[in-house]
Amino acid sequence: MDTNDLDALRVVLDSNTRLVMAGILAGLMFTVALSLKVDDFKALRSYPLRIAGGVVAQILGLPALTMGLVLLMNPPASIALGMIVVASCPGGNVSNVLTHFARGNTAYSVSLTAISSVLAAVMTPVSILFWSNLYPPTSILVDSLNVQPWPFLTQTATLLALPLAVGMVFAANFPETAEKMRKVLTPASLLTLAGLVIVGSYGNWNIVLAAGVVVIPITIIHNASALGLGAITGRILRLDDKRRRALTFEVGIQNAGLGLLILLNQFDGLGGAAALTAMWSVWHLIAGGMLALAFRFRNKTEKQNLTFGEMT
């Protein structure tokens, strides 16, 4: 299959499945909101440059970098759309976990995740439409799908904002119950997304095979660039080592599951874009895990060298 034929592939979904997808999307945002606390936002007042710089790197910097990669690599339109959708999504709780494991500043990571998650209700759909229109092949493809800007913005923003607001209000008024629910719903949502990727890949194996040759290297390059952007931004902002690690994961680990649900629900199950987003969902865990291990190994090596120096 020619790579450009990927633009014609579709993940076939009936009306009932689309309704389920919308429910999963709303449930995912509600689960994210249960972990958000008022204290997570107070860091913006205490460290405005550090927080604002990190958020800007994620919300504006990553999509801009992605557009640069798209123009440089000139991928099929559907693959480019997948890259843009992923880059427009906020960081997920996985970035917090990896930051903690890598001995980074978890509080800084949580603050960035909280702010980007709230902003995502509006910024994610706006960003998707804005950046996709800057790459002519993707702009033409989106037009062919009859994606109307205003309905897309309002529907997607509502699906993201409403459960997020409900979850935050619930968490603020019933913190203990919210924490118990979060402990159950967080792994449940991750398992649901994993199941979605596995079942979707099995049921659309032709798309996976056709897209794999193109999607895998692009995903690796894209994710590595995102992680690099986070690290470089940390140095520009003159962050300490632990905060740089946090920002590296926050920019490089995106909530690709959210992007996949948006594609399946709003973009007619576009095959190439869905394949790239699903691949990102898997790869960023592998790359992020390896990087976290590398950070821990460096800590161990530095500690051993310090101990050896004191002994001598």
Domain membership flag for residue 312: no
Q: What residues make up the domain containing 16?
A: 3-307
CA distance 277 to 290: 20
- Show the tokens assigned to 65: 């970098």
One DSSP character per residue, 76-115 reads -HHHHHHHHHHHHSPB-HHHHHHHHHTT--HHHHHHHHHH
Q: Three-state DSSP class for 270?
A: strand
Query: How many Cα atoms occupy the beta-carbon half-sphere of 135 within 13 Å?
Result: 29
Total domains, the chain: 1
Say if 182 falls within a structural domain: yes
For residue 41, with 0-12 CB atoms within 10 Å meaning exposed, 13-18 middle and 19 or more buried, which class applies?
Answer: middle
185: in domain: yes
Distance of CA 124 to the CA centre of its chain: 10
Query: Residue 191 falls within a domain, yes or no?
Result: yes
pLDDT at 91: 80
Summarize pLDDT for 108-166 with one digit per residue, the tens: 998 898 888 888 888 999 999 999 999 999 999 888 887 778 888 887 888 788 888 89
Residue whose token pair is 């199950």: 269
Phi, psi of 284 (to 5 degrees): -65, -25
The answer to whether residue 73 is domain-embedded is: yes
Using the structure block, give the residue that is written with the tokens 């014609």. 8
Ordered per-residue pLDDT tens for the chain, 312 residues? 555 566 666 665 556 666 776 777 778 788 888 887 777 777 778 788 899 999 999 999 999 999 999 999 999 898 999 999 999 998 877 888 899 889 999 889 988 988 888 888 889 999 999 999 999 999 998 888 877 788 888 878 887 888 888 988 999 899 899 889 988 887 887 777 666 666 655 655 666 666 677 888 999 999 999 999 999 999 999 999 999 999 999 999 988 878 887 887 777 667 788 888 888 888 998 999 999 999 998 887 766 665 545 555
27 occurs within a structural domain: yes
Please check whether residue 39 lies inside any domain of the structure: yes
In a domain, 127, yes or no: yes
Please provide the size of the chain in residues: 312
Task: Report the distance separating Cα 27 and Cα 163, nearest Å.
Answer: 7
Contacts of residue 285, defined as CB under 8 A and 6 or more positions apart, other chains included, come to 94
Using CB atoms within 10 A of its CB, is residue 23 exposed (0-12), middle (13-18) or buried (19+)?
middle
Return the CATH number at 55. Answer: 1.20.1530.20
